[in-house]
Amino acid sequence: MKNDIPIEATETTETSIYIDATEANFQESVIAESFNRLVICDISADWCGPCRVLMPILDDISKEYKGSFLLAKVDADENMRIAGKFKVKGFPTVIAFIKGEEVGRFHSAQRKPFVIEFIEKYINLV
């Protein structure tokens, strides 16, 4: 497949709260890890205002959940193939992965209760 993202093994542990996901480590750190626990993938850009609003909310929630899910942060400007592969049309786009598959997504900045509800919908399905 021409849009395959290269695989580079990286170490993620169940206690990891977040990782910086890249084209080089996406397969192992996001897709493979989603077989162990929910992975919430935030595809965003530094220049994006709504991204700057959402990121602290995601950071706070990931700390509150103490590693129950993995927050994977993707810089879309540096990892355009990831954004393309998942047909991201706007930033931020947050995608939930379970067992290697996308199970849900939302776009734009959202309030903390919305994000918690989104995570709670999927966290016990792994």
Which active-site residues does the annotation give? 48, 51
Q: Which residues of 56-94 are buried (b: 16+ CB within 10 A; e: fewer)?
A: ebbeebbeebeeebbbbbbbbeebeebbeebebeebbbb
φ and ψ of 106, to 5 deg: -145, 160
φ and ψ of 79, to 5 deg: -135, 55
Tokens 């734009």 sit on residue:
108
